[in-house]
C-alpha cells in the first residue's frame, strides 16, 4: 500500500470476531474478517440472511448489544482513529458524526413520539452544537435534500409511508455529513419502484458529499448499481472480495457462483432458477473445514480438513477456497 | 383537539347523572327510611309526615332524584342529618386536605417508582433488578396501617421529625404520603419496569444510539417517553383512588380528609353526607380520567391523531 492509499483509508478492520452468548449456545456470527475501505469508495457486503452482515456493521459502530454480544478485534480504525479503545462518551462523538448507519427496517427505525424534524435535528444539536432553531432549519434542508417538502418536518413517523420513512432515516444518517455510511439493506423493506428511487438518491448523495459507504445487501442488482468493490460473506467469513468487475465478471468462489445462478436470467427468461441447495450451517456449531462444503458442488476431502484462507488471485481479487490449490481449477461460470 | 375535549366534557354530563342516580338509589335501598330514626320512637304519624317533607324525603325515588340534581346544579348537597351542617361546605372543607395528601402521595409514588422501574429494566436480571423488584414486592405486601405505625414509631416518636398525626400543615402529610405512596409505588414500579423492557427492545433506540445520543438520553428521552402510556394509566387509576380519600392513612394519622368524612358518615347513617361526598368524588374522578386521556394525546402523537379524526 502506498502512503497516499494509507492516508485515504477510511476504514481499517483486522480480524473482527463477534459471538453472541445465548442460552442455546454460542452463536459465532462473525469469525475473523478484515475489511478496508478508501475515501469515496463503496463496498458491497453481500450474503444470505444470517451471514453476519448486520453484526459486522454494528461492530463498526460499537453497537453490538452486550449482553449477549462479545466483540474481539485486533484493529478497528476510522480515518486512522482507533475506535476500539474509545470510552463510551467519546464514541458518542463518533457515532452519527464520523460514521452513520441506516438500519434495515424503516418502519421501526424512527421514534414514534418525536417529529421527523426533531429526529433529524437531534444529531445536529449533538454534533454541531446548533441551537434548536438552527438545527430545525437544517433539518428542513435535509428533508428537501431527500425529496420531502420541509413543511413536513413537524409531522410524526406514522404520517409517512415506508419509502418516505426510509428517506427520513437517510436524512438522519447524512445530517452531519459522515465520512463513512453503513447502509444495512436500505431498500429491502421497500416496494420495487421505491427501491430504485432510494438507491438513486443514495448514489446522488454519496457523490455530492464524498461519503464512503458500505452497502449491505443480499441483492446483487443493487450491488451492481452502487458499489465499487464487493465482499461476499458466508457464515461470518469473507469468502471472496475484489472490485465489482472481479467479483461479477471473474467470479471465483463457488458460493458467489451460486448467488449468481439463483438470480433470474434476464437474457434467457425460460432458464430455471437454480437456488443454492441446502441451508447455512448452524452458527452455534460451525464445521472445522470450509463452512460452504455441505452445499458446494466442487467439494473434495481437502475442503473438510481446514478452514480455507483468503488468497490473492490478482492485485485486487481474493478468494477463500481450497480448490484453488489446484492451478487448473475453475468454476463453471465463466466471464459473461 | 378542542372539539374532542368539548365532546368529552359533554359526555361527562350523562355519566355523572347516571352515577349520581346509582349512588342515590343504592343509598335509598341500603339506608332504609331515615325519618323514623330522626323523629324518634314516639312521634305521631303527622309529625313524621311533616318531618319527611322538611327532610326532602317525600315523593318517589325518581322525584327525589330530580330534586337532588336540581339542588346539585345550584351547588346544594343538602344538610347533614347529624351535624345539621351544609354538606357542600363540609366537603369543601375536607377536600383541600385530601387533594394535598393525594398530590404528595403521588409525588412520592412516582418519585420512587420511575427511577426504580427504569433501573430494574435497564439492568434486567442483575442484582439491581432483583433488589428493585424485592422492594416493590415488600411495598405491595406490607399493610398500609403497619407501615404507617412503623413510620410514626421511628420518625415521630423516636426522632421527633414529624407529628404523629393531625393537620399541622405540610409536616403532617409527609408520613401519610410516604405510607400510601410506598404501597402505590409497588405496582407503579412493576408497570414502569415491564413497559420499559418492551421499549428497550425497539429498533428506534438503536437509531438514537447510532446518532450519537448519550445512553442517558436514550433511556430518559427516547425510551421513557414511549414507555409512559401504561405508566400514566396506572397513575390515573391510583390518583383517582386517593382522591376518594385514603381511609386507612387518614385514620392512622388522624388526617381530616374526605375518606374519613365518608366512613364516619356511613357509620352514622348520615345519608346526605355520604351521597354528597360520593357524587363529588365521582365528579373529580371523571375529570381526572379526562385529564389522563388528554395527557395520552400529549405523550403519543398516534393517540392524538385518533382523537382529532
Ligand atoms: N442479539 C443477538 N443475539 C443472538 N444472536 C444474534 C443476535 N443478533 C444476531 N444474531 C445471530 O447472529 C447471526 C448473524 O446475524 P446478522 O448479523 O443479523 O446477519 P445478517 O445481517 O447477515 O442477516 C445470525 O445467526 C443471528 O441469528
Ligand atoms: S473450499 Fe471446497 S467446499 Fe469450500 S467452497 Fe471451495 S471447493 Fe467448495
Ligand atoms: Mg441483517
Percent of chain B with pLDDT over 70: 97
Q: What does the DSSP assignment read for B35-58?
A: HHHHH-TT--HHHHHHHHHHTT--
Q: Domain check: are B38 and B113 in the same one?
A: no
Q: Domain check: are B93 and B48 in the same one?
A: no
Q: CA-to-CA distance for A242 and A230, rounded, in angstroms?
A: 6
Between residues A295 and A272, the one the model is more confident about? A295
Protein residue closest via CA to atom 21 of ligand 1: A54
Residue A37 located in a structural domain: no
Give the domain CATH number at B267.
Answer: 1.10.3720.10
For A80, residues 6+ apart whose C-beta sits below 8 A from its C-beta are A9
Q: Is A149 exposed, middle or buried (0-12, 13-18, 19+ CB in 10 A)?
A: exposed
Distance from CA of B287 to the nearest CA of A (A): 25
For A96, residues 6+ apart whose C-beta sits below 8 A from its C-beta are A123, A126, A127, A173, A175, A176, A178, B210, B211, B212, B213
pLDDT digits (tens, 9 = 90+) for A131-190: 999 999 999 999 998 889 999 999 999 999 988 999 999 999 988 889 999 999 988 877
Position B195 pLDDT exceeds 70: yes
pLDDT digits (tens, 9 = 90+) for B108-159: 999 999 999 999 999 988 888 888 888 888 877 777 778 888 888 888 888 8
Position B202 pLDDT exceeds 90: yes
Q: CA-to-CA distance for B259 and B180, rounded, in angstroms?
A: 13
Going by pLDDT thresholds of 50, 70 and 90, the confidence category of residue A334 is low
Q: CA-to-CA distance for B8 and B20, rounded, in angstroms?
A: 18
- Residue of B206, B211, B305 with shortest CB distance to A122: B211
Contact B211 A113 (CB under 8 A): no
Contact A112 B300 (CB under 8 A): yes
Percent of chain A with pLDDT over 90: 61
Q: Give the pairing of strands A318-319 and A237-243.
A: antiparallel
Residues in chain A within 8 Å Cβ distance of B213: 92, 96, 122, 126
Residue A46 located in a structural domain: no
Which of B22, B45, B73 corresponds to the end of one domain? B73
* Interface check A160 vs B, CB under 8 A: no
Residue B100 located in a structural domain: yes
Ligand 1: which atom is nearest the Cα of residue A48?
22
Q: Domain check: are B7 and B104 in the same one?
A: no
Going by pLDDT thresholds of 50, 70 and 90, the confidence category of residue A327 is confident
Q: Domain check: are B291 and B249 in the same one?
A: yes
| Owning domain of residue B261 | 88-308
Strand partners, A38: A9
Q: What does the DSSP assignment read for A84-113?
A: TT--HHHHHHHBTTTEEEE-S-HHHHS-TT
Going by pLDDT thresholds of 50, 70 and 90, the confidence category of residue A8 is confident
Residues in chain B within 8 Å Cβ distance of A96: 210-213
Q: Helix and strand tally (H, E) in chain B? A: 15, 0
Going by pLDDT thresholds of 50, 70 and 90, the confidence category of residue B62 is confident
Residue A96 located in a structural domain: no
Residue A323 located in a structural domain: yes
User: CA Rg, chain B, in Å?
Assistant: 24
Q: Domain check: are B130 and B155 in the same one?
A: yes
Q: What is the mean pLDDT of chain A?
A: 89
Q: How many domains does chain A have?
A: 1
Q: Domain check: are B145 and B294 in the same one?
A: yes
- Residue of A95, A105, A108 with shortest CB distance to B210: A95
| Owning domain of residue A302 | 250-336
Q: Is the pTM of this model over 0.90?
A: no
Beta carbons of A97 and A178 less than 8 angstroms apart:
yes
Q: How far is CA B107 from CA A207, B191, B194, in A?
A: 54, 16, 21
Residue A258 located in a structural domain: yes
Residue B79 located in a structural domain: no
Q: Domain check: are B131 and B230 in the same one?
A: yes
- What residue of B is the nearest CA neighbor of A94? B212
Q: At what angle do helices B170-200 and B224-243 cross, to 10 degrees?
A: 140
What is the mean pLDDT of the segment spanning A234-258?
94
Q: Give the pairing of strands A229-234 and A212-217.
A: unpaired
Residue A232 located in a structural domain: no
Residue A158: predicted pLDDT:
94
Residue B307: predicted pLDDT:
82
Residue A266: predicted pLDDT:
62
CA atoms within 13 A on the CB side of B164: 8
Q: Domain check: are B108 and B19 in the same one?
A: no
Q: CA-to-CA distance for B48 and B238, rounded, in angstroms?
A: 44
CA atoms within 13 A on the CB side of A331: 23
Q: CA-to-CA distance for A307 and B281, rounded, in angstroms?
A: 75
Position A265 pLDDT exceeds 70: no
Residue B55 located in a structural domain: yes
Residues in chain B within 8 Å Cβ distance of A126: 211-213
What is the ipTM metric for this complex?
A: 0.89
Residues in chain B within 8 Å Cβ distance of A89: 214
Ligand 1: which atom is nearest the Cα of residue A18?
12
3 state SS of B197? helix
Position A75 pLDDT exceeds 60: yes
Distance from CA of B298 to the nearest CA of A (A): 10
Q: CA-to-CA distance for A285 and A288, rounded, in angstroms?
A: 9
Which of B28, B50, B73 corresponds to the end of one domain? B73
pLDDT digits (tens, 9 = 90+) for A210-228: 899 999 998 888 899 889 9
Residue A138: predicted pLDDT:
93
Beta carbons of A84 and A76 less than 8 angstroms apart:
yes
Q: How far is CA B216 from CA B205, B213, B228, in A?
A: 12, 8, 17
Residue B82 located in a structural domain: no
Residue B80 located in a structural domain: no
Q: CA-to-CA distance for A177 and A249, rounded, in angstroms?
A: 33
3 state SS of A79? coil
What is the mean pLDDT of the segment spanning B275-292?
90
Q: From its phi and psi, is residue A93 left (phi > 0), alpha (psi between -120 and 50) or beta? A: alpha
| Residue from A321, A330, A332 whose mutation best tests the ligand 2 pocket (most atoms within 8 A of CB) | A321
Between residues A200 and A238, the one the model is more confident about? A238
What is the mean pLDDT of the segment spanning A107-115?
94
What are B48's three cell numbers? 313524621
Position A268 pLDDT exceeds 70: no
User: CA Rg, chain A, in Å?
Assistant: 21
Quote the Cα angle for A22-A26-A30, to 5°: 115
Residue B55: predicted pLDDT:
74
Q: Residue written as cell 327525589?
A: B64
What is the distance, to the nearest Å, from the Cα of residue A190 to the centroid of all Cα atoms in its chain?
Answer: 17
Closest ligand relative to A21 C-alpha: 1
What are A175's three cell numbers? 445530517
What is the mean pLDDT of the segment spanning B16-20?
87
Ligand 1: which atom is nearest the Cα of residue A54?
21
Q: CA-to-CA distance for B213 and A123, rounded, in angstroms?
A: 8
Ligand 1: which atom is nearest the Cα of residue A55?
17
Q: How many domains does chain B have?
A: 2
Which of B45, B73, B101 corresponds to the end of one domain? B73
Residue B142 located in a structural domain: yes
- Residue of A61, A113, A127 with shortest CB distance to B210: A61
Residue A189 Cα to ligand 2 midpoint, Å, equals 32
Position A335 pLDDT exceeds 60: no
Residue A256 located in a structural domain: yes
Which residues lie at CB < 5 A from ion ligand 3?
A 54
Q: What is the mean pLDDT of chain B?
A: 87
Q: Kind and range of the H or E element at A207?
A: helix A192-209
Q: Domain check: are B118 and B224 in the same one?
A: yes
Q: Domain check: are B93 and B15 in the same one?
A: no
Residue A293 located in a structural domain: yes
Contact B212 A172 (CB under 8 A): no
Amino acid at each position: 500500500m502506498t502512503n497516499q492509499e494509507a492516508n485515504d483509508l477510511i476504514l481499517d478492520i483486522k480480524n473482527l470476531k463477534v459471538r453472541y452468548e445465548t442460552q442455546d449456545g454460542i452463536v459465532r456470527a462473525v469469525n475473523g474478517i478484515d475489511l478496508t475501505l478508501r475515501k469515496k469508495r463503496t463496498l458491497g457486503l453481500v450474503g444470505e440472511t444470517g451471514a453476519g452482515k448486520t453484526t459486522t456493521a454494528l461492530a463498526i459502530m460499537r453497537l453490538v448489544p452486550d449482553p449477549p454480544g462479545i466483540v474481539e478485534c485486533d484493529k478497528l480504525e476510522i480515518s486512522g482513529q482507533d475506535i476500539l479503545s474509545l470510552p463510551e462518551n467519546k464514541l458518542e462523538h463518533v457515532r452519527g458524526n464520523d460514521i452513520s448507519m441506516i438500519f434495515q427496517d424503516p418502519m421501526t427505525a424512527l421514534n414514534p413520539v418525536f417529529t421527523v424534524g426533531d429526529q433529524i435535528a437531534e444529531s445536529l444539536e449533538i454534533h454541531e452544537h446548533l441551537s434548536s432553531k438552527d438545527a430545525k432549519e437544517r433539518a428542513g434542508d435535509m428533508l428537501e435534500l431527500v425529496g420531502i417538502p420541509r413543511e413536513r418536518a413537524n409531522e410524526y413517523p406514522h404520517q409517512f409511508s415506508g419509502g418516505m420513512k426510509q428517506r427520513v432515516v437517510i436524512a438522519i444518517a447524512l445530517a452531519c455529513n459522515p465520512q463513512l455510511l453503513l447502509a444495512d439493506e436500505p431498500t429491502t423493506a421497500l416496494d420495487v419502484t421505491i427501491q430504485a428511487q432510494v438507491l438513486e438518491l443514495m448514489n446522488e448523495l454519496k457523490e455530492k458529499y464524498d461519503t464512503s459507504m458500505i452497502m449491505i445487501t443480499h441483492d446483487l442488482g443493487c450491488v451492481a448499481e452502487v458499489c465499487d468493490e464487493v465482499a461476499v460473506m458466508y457464515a461470518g467469513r469473507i469468502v471472496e472480495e475484489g472490485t465489482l468487475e472481479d467479483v461479477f465478471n471473474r467470479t471465483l468462489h463457488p458460493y458467489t457462483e451460486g448467488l449468481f445462478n439463483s438470480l433470474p436470467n434476464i437474457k434467457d427468461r425460460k432458464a430455471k432458477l437454480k437456488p443454492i441447495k441446502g441451508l447455512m450451517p448452524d452458527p452455534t456449531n460451525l464445521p472445522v473445514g470450509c463452512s460452504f462444503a455441505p452445499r458446494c458442488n466442487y467439494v473434495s476431502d481437502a475442503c473438510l480438513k481446514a478452514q480455507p484462507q483468503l488468497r490473492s488471485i490478482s492485485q485486487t481479487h481474493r478468494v477463500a477456497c481450497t480448490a484453488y490449490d489446484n492451478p487448473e481449477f475453475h468454476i463453471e461460470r465463466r466471464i459473461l | 383537539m378542542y372539539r374532542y375535549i368539548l365532546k368529552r366534557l359533554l359526555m361527562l354530563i350523562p355519566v355523572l347523572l347516571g352515577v349520581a342516580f346509582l349512588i342515590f338509589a343504592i343509598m335509598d335501598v341500603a339506608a332504609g327510611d331515615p325519618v323514623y330514626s330522626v323523629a324518634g320512637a314516639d312521634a305521631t304519624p303527622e309529625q313524621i309526615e311533616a318531618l319527611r317533607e322538611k327532610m326532602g324525603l317525600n315523593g318517589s325515588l325518581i322525584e327525589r332524584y330530580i330534586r337532588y340534581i336540581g339542588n346539585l346544579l345550584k351547588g346544594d348537597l343538602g344538610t347533614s342529618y347529624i351535624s345539621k351542617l351544609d354538606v357542600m361546605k363540609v366537603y369543601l372543607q375536607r377536600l383541600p386536605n385530601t387533594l394535598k395528601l393525594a398530590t404528595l402521595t403521588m409525588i412520592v409514588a412516582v418519585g420512587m417508582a420511575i427511577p426504580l422501574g427504569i433501573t430494574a429494566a435497564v439492568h434486567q436480571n442483575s442484582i439491581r433488578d432483583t433488589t428493585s423488584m424485592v422492594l416493590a414486592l415488600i411495598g405491595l405486601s406490607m399493610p398500609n396501617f403497619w407501615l404507617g405505625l412503623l413510620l410514626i414509631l421511628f420518625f415521630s416518636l423516636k426522632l421527633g421529625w414529624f407529628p404523629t398525626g393531625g393537620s399541622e400543615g405540610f409536616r403532617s402529610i409527609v408520613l401519610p404520603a410516604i405510607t400510601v405512596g410506598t404501597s402505590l409505588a409497588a405496582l407503579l414500579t412493576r408497570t414502569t419496569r415491564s413497559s420499559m423492557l418492551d421499549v428497550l427492545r425497539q429498533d428506534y433506540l438503536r437509531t438514537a444510539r447510532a446518532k450519537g445520543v448519550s445512553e442517558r438520553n436514550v433511556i430518559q428521552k427516547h425510551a421513557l417517553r414511549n414507555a409512559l402510556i401504561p405508566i400514566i394509566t396506572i397513575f390515573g387509576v391510583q390518583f383517582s383512588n386517593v382522591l376518594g380519600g385514603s381511609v386507612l392513612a387518614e385514620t392512622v394519622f388522624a388526617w381530616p380528609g374526605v375518606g374519613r368524612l365518608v366512613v364516619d358518615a356511613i357509620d352514622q347513617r348520615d345519608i346526605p353526607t355520604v351521597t354528597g361526598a360520593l357524587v363529588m368524588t365521582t365528579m373529580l374522578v371523571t375529570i381526572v380520567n379526562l385529564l389522563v386521556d388528554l395527557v395520552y394525546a400529549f405523550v403519543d402523537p398516534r393517540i392524538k391523531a385518533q382523537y382529532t379524526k
